Amino acid sequence: MQRRHSSRTAFDPRRAIARRALRKVLEAARWAPTAHNMQNYEVIVIDDPDLLRAVGGIRSEVSLTFIKENLEQLSFSEDELRRKKTGLLAQNFPPAWLTPDPNPFETADPEHSFLGNAIQSSPTLMIVVYDAARRAPASEGDVLGMMSLGCVLENMWLMADSLGISLQVVSAMSGDHVEEELRRILGFPKSMKVAFGVRLGYPLADAATLHVRRDVEDFTHVNGYAPWSG
């Protein structure tokens, strides 16, 4: 759990992930806890080069809202990140995303407007879809269903890491336009929505990055909303 991280580096496209390893990742997903054991998800595995290129060619615009709210979570030095104990290093993001009032023409740079930039020659993608017409009983907004999908992701991620496979969530895959293009390319039913996509592979370079977390005392309260003293 402490070693797991989001790998934002390029993967080696020539190094395929063995089907045996993929099956272990899927087996981990299979045993994730889900609300009422509904198991309301399907996993689409893509390792065909032609399909990967087709998915990589989908246009994915980045909203100004995302850029502004993402900026609030960034630190511009490792010392700042260590002090905050939350968020990410700004160096992991395009320069056009690092100002409070981004220029829409800069953020529309074609280099960052297609899924191919996020996929970065990944040998394998997994797209998890779910039936939006179903929900956990009396779960407003299907909050329990969303939690269940998070459990599926975490199980997959931990198993992948244990096998030496790097993983990154590609959140842009759940956008409306991208979802429709994925549906057209992959043929999943209209009732199914994209929960998340992940790219998997073996990094071409060292993907090590600074990990920070709040201390237990920072977020734990005992017998009321008072700090835990140990």
Rounded CA separation 58/147 (Å):
28
Res. 108 pLDDT band, cuts 50 70 90 = low
Summarize the confidence of residues 166-181 as an average pLDDT.
90
Give residue 91's pLDDT. Answer: 86
Q: Look at 210 and 180; give whichever has higher pLDDT.
A: 180
Model pTM score: 0.89
15-29, 53-67, 99-113, 177-191: which range is least confident on average?
Answer: 99-113
Res. 103 pLDDT band, cuts 50 70 90 = low
Segments making up each domain of the chain, as ranges: 1-48+125-213
Q: Token pair for residue 195?
A: 């929960």
Give residue 168's pLDDT. Answer: 92
Give residue 36's pLDDT. Answer: 95
Distances (CA, A) of 15 to 163, 166, 200, 201: 14, 12, 11, 8
Coil vs helix vs strand at 4: coil
Amino acid at 136: A
Rounded CA separation 75/139 (Å):
36
CATH class of 1-48+125-213: alpha beta
Lateral strand order in the sheet of 166-170: 42-46, 124-131, 192-201, 166-170
